[in-house]
Amino acid sequence: MIPANRGSIEDPRIDVVVETPMRSRNKYEYDAAIGMIRLDRRLPSATVYPADYGYVPGTLARDGDALDALVLVEEATFPGCVIETRILGAFLMRDEHGPDTKLITVPTSTPRWREARAISDVPTALLDEIEHFFAVYKDLEPEKTTETAGFVGLQEAMSELQSAQDRFRSFRGSTPAQESNE
């Protein structure tokens, strides 16, 4: 769970659990039934994750999974790594399951991102790479689709986080895929 003093507009720090490391074509997902990360599939497209990719514990996104997050790291970490991050904004998209927002975050411990506070602090080339990846990464998978809708700022990202935390609290006793991502 996110401590009460974090995950707000005044202090947009959250923990992200990495499932898929940057530069991987393997798609890993947390499997709540066994409490471990499992290999979901290898992406058939000739593209790799542009950042570490994972989820925010204690959240439930609109697609029934935990809220997705990208961590803009300089070197890939590993599945299961927990990173304290700062939210800069979010990337909006849809897939075959519906809306699928991804928070855009940076590690709080990395000097390169020390001054970053907004999505506009991310180089345009990196934002383009992220959008391109999510536009095409499912293209060669039957029955899977994506549609990208660009980036939004911190205010919208924090609203999405708050909604996902509220949903998680509402469904805590039920059995949705609370900790896995698509």
- Domain membership of residue 7 (yes or no) is no
182 has pLDDT over 50: no
- Domain membership of residue 79 (yes or no) is yes
**Other beta carbons within 10 Å of 124:** 8
- Domain membership of residue 2 (yes or no) is no
Catalytic-role residue among 15, 100, 139, 166: 100
Cα separation, 37 vs 13, whole angstroms: 24
CATH number at residue 27: 3.90.80.10
Which pLDDT score is estimated for 4? 46
Pairing between strand 146-152 and 82-95? antiparallel
Closest by CA to 47, choosing from 130, 129, 126, 133, is 133
128-168 pLDDT, tens digit each: 999 999 999 998 999 998 989 999 999 999 999 999 999 99
Cα separation, 135 vs 154, whole angstroms: 22
Tokens describing residue 91: 């990337």
Which pLDDT score is estimated for 174? 54
- Determine contact, residues 42/27, Cβ cutoff 8 Å: yes
- Domain membership of residue 85 (yes or no) is yes
78-89 pLDDT, tens digit each: 999 999 999 999
Which pLDDT score is estimated for 173? 59
- Domain membership of residue 180 (yes or no) is no
**Whole domain around residue 107: which residue ranges?**
17-170
Which pLDDT score is estimated for 133? 96
- Domain membership of residue 157 (yes or no) is yes
Distances 3 to 8, 12, 56, 114, 137 between C-alpha atoms, Å: 10, 11, 12, 21, 34
- Domain membership of residue 177 (yes or no) is no
Cα separation, 55 vs 178, whole angstroms: 10
Cα separation, 146 vs 167, whole angstroms: 24
Q: Where are the alpha helices (DSSP H) in 28-138?
A: 124-136
Mean per-residue pLDDT over the chain, rounded: 90
- Domain membership of residue 34 (yes or no) is yes
| 40 carries an active-site annotation | no
Q: What is the mean pLDDT of residues 54-68?
A: 93
Q: How many independent structural domains does the chain possess?
A: 1
